[in-house]
């Protein structure tokens, strides 16, 4: 899904450089087509579930980036608005089932959005008075407050077991029951597309642009007529709105909402997703959301300690690509435009092979350590990528160390090749740029 | 009779027991180019900070076009028609030159916190930005991130941001500081152009610039105004010579 959205920086060229309507809306038409086609390619139940969760995560991560990437507000408690939106949605769903309020299921996400917006207004009026560290700390405090309230206010939050609902019992439109997962997928995909377009459009408005100004220099913004507190507050409310929509979709998807929705866990996950993808680009959180959702669901099948790998990946990105995955992709944009990017492929493949060998070695050490320590009660025989081996034998450890050392050595040897290919491709792109 | 563009009445600023500004009264009529000079540490920038709302006065009143602005936030004062530049360049470093200027025209053109229309479709905004970039000779640098501009260009952009909102009263804090002679000449020509039809108050250390540009000059020493007059009489004032010009010439 990540390739559906056109990479676009926050600081794109001004209007004079804007291409025609097709270029302007084309990317969204492509995204819509991809959303429609995906279930026909990946039609298994698991795939539908994964893609549904990805759609929710994309909205949530993009809403988070309205704060972090666009307005420079680091929030540690964004799941509060996602979770409270979900609770509002699930309660209204149950009211609709009892025919107290006539809301069709397709509009339930909007109820979630209204809930997120409402609590965004309430909590935002407190937390957006200050930017920077003060805002981050208040967001953490509010997250703790709501998470602990969730276990106390049982009427609204449903206590330990949460609040359940049944999405098929609501008023139907077009004879869709929303029982089958594929129908839920299409509902989520439609809302995801609408929200992506809305949030992208928002970055191109006077308000969206002043968010960037407040992010870069809140003091100067004051001297051109803008109140940075008000900019932060509006950004916070709108961000809460979209987070609430994501929460509403989650309520529909899972048919249960509990206190874990508002906890620090999802607040941390959305931060990591946005940062992994790259907060400096609109498409960054989309990439991050897709990747993190995939890893959460798929890596956990492959290994019990998937969270360790997840953490290592996050550290690697923060250390080596602080602009996120999107920044790595965007580095290649000039080469792509000059049609020389393919020249890098051989060099990249050459470096990739030893890198994978090295990673396999590291992973083997981690898995064997896990087997010998945490799982000490179990036999030391195990399989690694379908290869049977004994975690207690010296040979296995020697093999692992050999993989790491050999992979590292070859990777270092391959790096000058990548470097040279990169320099040459850049030079070729520059030559074309100056020639045209 | 129209109110003066800027009117300070017995303005005081204290930090604890330190008196930085001591009873300054000053009236700048509409359309005047007024220079504020004085030795380092006299309180010139503090006075600007008081007028623009960056600091609040300890006592006294400040009126812009007849309206009392004491205690208002900088953005409220800006909306009442006063705009300022900074001694240390104060721009949006990650935004392009074009976007920097756009930030400063949006509010004054009434777009405020609008989040329902595309900023790229606002033809009036585009025209105004182009005019400002043309005036400040930055048209060919429009796509460059402001943070990587050459120093003189950043100073020109600082002035561009200051005037782009169309404020009637402009405060410039040492606009030529740190520039080469040729760059300073360009900057003075720019200031002369942009101050036409506006009220200008400028802090400046270069006396040739001051006497060339100003209609009247005020001399601030240790937080007090010791003289306000036309350049010729300021030059001849013995108190000014003793306090400022004499030491500068020596």
Alpha carbon distance B75, A228 (integer Å): 9
Any idea where the domains of chain A sit in the sequence?
2-323, 335-435
State the pLDDT at residue A186: 96
Predicted confidence band of residue B162 (pLDDT cuts 50, 70, 90): very high
List beta partners, residue B9.
B61
pLDDT at A46 over 80: yes
pLDDT at B246: 54
Provide the pLDDT for residue A19.
54
Name the token pair of A55: 């759609």
Domain boundaries, chain B: 1-74+205-250
State how far the alpha carbon of A421 is from the alpha carbons of A95, A327, A342, A346, A348, in Å. Answer: 62, 19, 10, 9, 9
Q: Is A398 on the interface with B (CB under 8 A)?
A: no
Q: Is the pLDDT of residue A250 over 80?
A: yes
Neighbours of B128 (CB within 10 A): 21
Mean pLDDT of B218-242: 92
> What is the arithmetic mean of pLDDT over B50-74?
95
User: Pairing relation of β-strands B216-221 and B33-37?
Assistant: parallel
Spatial separation of the C-alpha atoms in residues A214 and A218, rounded to whole Å: 4
B107 touches chain A (CB under 8 A): yes
Range from A5-14, A81-90, A368-377, B91-100 carrying the lowest mean pLDDT = A5-14
pLDDT at A243 over 90: yes
Of A208, A224, A226, the CB nearest to B115: A208
Task: Look at the block and give the residue holding tokens 């097709």.
Answer: A22
Task: Provide CATH code, domain A2-323.
Answer: 1.10.3470
Least confident range from A102-106, A300-304, B7-11: namely A300-304
Give A55-101 pLDDT, tens digit per residue: 999 999 999 999 999 999 999 999 999 999 999 999 999 999 999 99
Asked if the Cβ–Cβ distance from A13 to B95 is below 8 Å, we say no
Over residues A188-218, the pLDDT tens digits come to: 999 999 999 999 999 999 999 999 999 999 9
Q: How far is CA A368 from CA A304, A362, A382, B58, in A?
A: 12, 10, 8, 70
* Spatial separation of the C-alpha atoms in residues A185 and A181, rounded to whole Å: 6
What pLDDT was estimated at residue A227?
A: 97
Question: How much is the pLDDT for A139?
Answer: 96
Tell me which chain A residues have a C-beta less than 8 angstroms from the C-beta of B146. Answer: none
Name residue, tokens 């206590």: A159
> Which residue in chain B is spatially nearest to A229 when comparing CA positions?
B75
Evaluate if residue B197 carries a pLDDT over 50. yes
ipTM score over 0.85, yes or no: yes
CB B212 within 8 Å of CB B195 = no
Q: Give the per-residue pLDDT at B1.
A: 60
Q: Say whether residue B119 is in contact with chain A using an 8 A CB cutoff.
A: yes
Secondary-structure breakdown of chain A: helix, strand, coil percentages, each rounded to the nearest 5? 75, 5, 20
A5 has pLDDT over 90: no
Choose, out of B115, B128, B144, B154, the residue to mutate when testing the contact with A (most A CBs < 10 Å).
B115
Class of the CATH-defined domain B1-74+205-250:
alpha beta
Looking at the predicted structure, is the pLDDT value of residue A3 above 50? no
- On chain A, the residues whose CB falls within 8 A of the CB of B141 are none
Instruction: Read off the pLDDT of residues A327-369 as tens digits, 9 standing for 90 and up.
Output: 999 999 888 888 888 889 999 999 999 999 999 999 999 999 9
Q: What is the mean pLDDT of residues B95-103?
A: 96
Q: CA–CA separation, A140 vs A145, rounded Å?
A: 9
């Amino acid at each position: 899904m990540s390739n559906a959205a056109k990479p676009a920086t926050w600081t794109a060229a001004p209007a004079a450089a804007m291409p025609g309507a097709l270029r302007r809306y084309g990317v969204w038409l492509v995204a819509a087509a991809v959303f429609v086609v995906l279930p026909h390619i990946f039609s298994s139940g698991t795939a539908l579930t994964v893609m549904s969760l990805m759609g929710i995560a994309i909205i949530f991560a993009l809403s988070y980036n309205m704060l972090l990437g666009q307005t420079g507000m680091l929030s540690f408690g964004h799941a509060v608005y996602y979770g409270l939106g979900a609770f509002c949605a699930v309660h209204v769903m149950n009211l609709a089932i009892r025919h107290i309020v006539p809301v069709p299921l397709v509009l339930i996400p909007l109820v979630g959005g209204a809930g997120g917006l409402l609590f965004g207004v309430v909590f935002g009026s407190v937390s957006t008075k200050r930017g920077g560290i003060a805002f981050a700390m208040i967001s953490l405090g509010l997250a703790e407050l709501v998470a602990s309230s969730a276990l106390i206010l049982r009427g609204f939050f449903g206590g330990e077991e949460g609040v359940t609902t049944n999405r098929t019992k609501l008023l139907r439109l077009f004879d869709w029951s929303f029982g089958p997962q594929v129908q839920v997928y299409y509902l989520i995909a439609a809302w995801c597309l609408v929200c992506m377009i809305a949030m992208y459009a928002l970055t191109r408005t006077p308000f969206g642009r002043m968010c960037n100004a407040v992010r870069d220099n809140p003091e100067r913004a004051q001297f051109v007529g803008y109140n940075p507190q008000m900019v932060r507050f509006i950004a916070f409310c709108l961000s809460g709105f979209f987070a609430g929509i994501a929460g509403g979709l989650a309520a529909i998807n899972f048919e249960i909402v509990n206190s874990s929705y508002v906890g620090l866990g999802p607040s941390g996950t959305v931060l990591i997703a946005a940062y992994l993808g790259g907060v400096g680009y609109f498409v960054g959180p989309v990439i991050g959301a897709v990747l993190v959702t995939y890893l959460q669901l798929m890596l956990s099948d492959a290994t019990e300690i998937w969270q360790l790998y997840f953490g290592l990946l996050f550290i690697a990105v923060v250390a080596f690509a602080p602009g996120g995955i999107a920044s790595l992709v965007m580095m290649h944009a000039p080469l792509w435009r000059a049609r020389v990017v393919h020249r890098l492929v051989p060099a990249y493949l050459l470096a990739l092979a030893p890198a994978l060998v090295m990673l396999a070695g590291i992973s083997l050490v981690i898995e064997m350590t896990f087997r010998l320590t945490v799982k000490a009660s179990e036999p030391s025989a195990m399989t690694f990528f379908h290869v049977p081996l004994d975690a207690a034998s010296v040979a296995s450890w020697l093999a692992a160390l050999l993989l790491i050392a050999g992979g590292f050595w070859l990777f270092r040897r391959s790096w000058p090749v990548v470097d040279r290919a990169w320099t040459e491709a850049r030079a070729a792109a520059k030559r074309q740029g100056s020639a045209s | 009779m129209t109110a003066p563009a800027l009117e300070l009445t017995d303005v005081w600023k204290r930090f604890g027991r330190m008196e930085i500004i001591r009873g300054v009264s000053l009236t700048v009529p509409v359309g005047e180019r007024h220079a504020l000079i004085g030795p380092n540490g006299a309180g010139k920038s503090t006075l600007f900070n008081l007028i623009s709302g960056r600091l609040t006065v300890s006592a006294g009143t400040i009126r812009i076009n007849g309206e009392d602005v004491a205690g208002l936030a900088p953005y409220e004062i800006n909306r009442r028609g006063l705009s300022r530049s900074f001694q240390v360049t104060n721009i949006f470093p990650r935004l392009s030159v074009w976007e920097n200027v756009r930030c400063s025209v949006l509010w004054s053109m009434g777009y405020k916190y609008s989040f329902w229309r595309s900023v790229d479709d606002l033809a009036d905004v585009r025209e105004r930005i182009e005019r400002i970039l043309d005036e400040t000779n930055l048209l060919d640098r429009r796509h460059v991130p402001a943070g990587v501009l050459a120093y003189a260009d950043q100073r020109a952009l600082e002035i561009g941001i200051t005037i782009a909102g169309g404020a009637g009263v402009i405060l410039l804090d040492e606009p030529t500081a740190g520039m080469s002679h040729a760059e300073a000449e360009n900057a003075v020509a720019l200031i002369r152009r942009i101050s036409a039809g506006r009220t200008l108050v400028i802090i400046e250390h270069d006396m040739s610039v001051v006497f060339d540009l100003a209609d009247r000059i005020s001399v601030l020493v240790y937080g007090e105004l010791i003289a306000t007059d036309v350049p010729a009489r300021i030059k001849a004032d013995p108190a000014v010579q003793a306090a400022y010009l004499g030491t500068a010439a020596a």
